[in-house]
Structure 1
Amino acid sequence: MRSIAVFCTGGVMTNRRKALWAVAAVMTLLVVTAISIPNMLRSRKVDQSVSFSTGSAAEQQGAGGGGGGHKIAVYAQLVAPDKKLIHNAELELVVGDVRAAAEQIRKLVDLNHGEIDKLEIRDATGGSVSATLVVRVPASGLENALAEFKKVAVRTEREQVSTRDVSRDFYDNEAHMRNLRAEEQQYLLIMKQAHTVKDTLEVSEKLSDVRDRIERLQAQIQLMTHDIEMSVVTVALTQESDARAPGIRWRPLYNAKVAVRDLLEGLGDWVDSMVAILIKLPLIVLWTLTVGVILWVVWQSGRSVWLRFLKPRLAQKAR
């Protein structure tokens, strides 16, 4: 009976118990939050992998089911495709002799089984010479080719390598090509079964249209495959005597071009950042509210502990 009376009367033990329960609730909330967020992220990845594997199993079961099975088999090939990347590079080199350097680069391209798309040598007034080469080298040997090109130069003013992912376009074109091939076979089968001249002419017209689309799509696939296998390298050559005047190095036009390029790149990065922030704004607000609620609960709990437990004890000790 005494314990029940103490519990109901809200004395010192009741305040202390409330404070301890508040601290325990806050700690539990923090622990649950810390555990749940990684688990949510991990479960999302697991769900994605399970959905892919389930789709693959269904595709294997339906592979022998006629035309539908053919479409499912096509999808199965697209589940985990290899990435198709186009690598390009730009070099700005200062050389002692532009013509000799251009010839050396041409020989290096030939040795690396590459191609020369453009070779332009410009003679300006005053005897200054510059050149621009647009060459293709195997993508697998791009890094070695760039290293060899830079050995020709006195110094490298600028080097940039860019990569573009064209996997989606490439596999879309391949899937479209398979569909066109299947359509072509259907028209050939229909043509064998045609009995009248009218039917034969109509099917022949359709077949001609399909074959025309196949040829155009095949050209696109071949061009994209060539761009993937052969990287484009643009090399700008400047003569050392033109780049460095005696006792002074002043290139306002070049510096202006670099400044404009940096300005455009900076603007592009700013636009990308703003778009990403706008798209993720609901998530940012949600996380802000979550953190704010947690901080508010911690603040209120700490304040309650201070007012109901710590402050009276300090006051008693002070007396």
Structure 2
Amino acid sequence: MYGGGSPVPVPAGVGNPNYASGPIAMMRNQNQSNTNQAPEHVMRGMIIRNADIALQVDDINSAMEKITHLAESSGGYVVNSNLYQDNNIAGNTTANISIRVPAQGLNNALSTLKSLATHVVQESVTGEDITQQFVDLQSQLSNLQTAKEQLSKIMASATKTTDVLNVFKQLNEIQGQIDVLQGQIKYYKESVAYSLININLSMNPIIQTEQQKQWNISATFIDAYHSLVDELRHFTYGLITFFVYFLPLILIWICIFLVVYWIGKKIWHGFK
């Protein structure tokens, strides 16, 4: 309220859960040229391009190092990487690694990846046009920021505590919606700027077969040693459990038996 007691002119739509998708018709008309027209570089197309590729390589560890170097040297980064190795089967190693590279260098990155492989098992490239979604988000963000400015002016001129609190609450709601939209816009920009490549690595079958034919005495010795240690540990745990838990119980039952036997013997001799 103002000093004259008239209602606070809060912009229409503020506080509405659907405000982000349809704020203030009046402001929309005032800002039509800004909110309904996207920048020229946006209208040319916002395309998210990602790729999936499966490769057979001679050395998985070496390939992962080269892929990491490829991502970092091109201005990108490694999203995640996982190495799986079956100790029971020699050469049975696989890996998954995901990287992001600048979108304009996606084709070059794929060519480099294929040069690391002895065989390309599978390759796919996908593209998603998010231009309209991006334009809509920018339009909603612009309207929300305009509404925030108007509410800030109203709050600055409000005189009653209840009015200040009411406008402050609506400002917080709008700021929350602004934060969400800014996060979505940032995600879209990063997804367009950096392409995601998911890479699956497996061993070259020829190399894998050769490794399986080789004697692996050291690995067998290590496995046997670990098994021995495990058995000794379990045996030790069993002894500790016996002496700490069962032995006292056995001693107690022996004592009880001796006492009962002694009493019974006394009674028996008493009858005689």
* Structure (1/2) with the larger helix percentage: 1
Contact kept? 1:96, 1:239, Cα under 8 Å: yes
Q: Distance in 2 between matches of 1:159 and 1:67?
A: 46
* Corresponding residue number in structure 2 for 1:71: 32
Q: Which has the higher contact order (CA 8 A, sep 6+)?
A: 2
* Corresponding residue number in structure 2 for 1:184: 148
Q: Give the unaligned 5+ runs of structure 1.
A: 1-64, 247-319
* Corresponding residue number in structure 1 for 2:60: 98
Q: Distance in 2 between matches of 1:174 and 1:200?
A: 29
- 1:144 aligns with one of 108, 116, 124: 108
Call closer, same or farther: CA 1:108–1:67 in 2, change over 3 Å: closer
Q: Distance in 1 between matches of 2:96 and 2:27?
A: 56
Call closer, same or farther: CA 1:73–1:107 in 2, change over 3 Å: closer
Q: CA offset at residue 113 of structure 1?
A: 1.0
* Corresponding residue number in structure 2 for 1:206: 170
- Report % sequence identity: 25
| Cα-Cα RMSD | 2.2
Q: Which residue identity does 1:107 align to in structure 2?
A: H
CA deviation vs aligned residue, 1:78-123 (integer Å, no higher than 9, x gap): 7981211100101111100111111111111110111111110100
TM (norm. structure 1) is 0.54
Contact kept? 1:94, 1:243, Cα under 8 Å: no
What is the total number of aligned residue pairs between the two structures?
A: 182
How does 1:237-316 map onto structure 2 within 5 Å?
Answer: 237-241=201-205
Q: Distance in 2 between matches of 1:155 and 1:228?
A: 29
* Corresponding residue number in structure 2 for 1:126: 89
Find out whether 1:83 has 2:29 as its counterpart. Answer: no
Q: Distance in 2 between matches of 1:108 and 1:167?
A: 29
Q: Give the unaligned 5+ runs of structure 2.
A: 1-25, 211-272
- 2:179 aligns with one of 210, 215, 225: 215
Call closer, same or farther: CA 1:96–1:66 in 2, change over 3 Å: closer
Q: CA offset at residue 245 of structure 1?
A: 5.1
TM (norm. structure 2) is 0.63
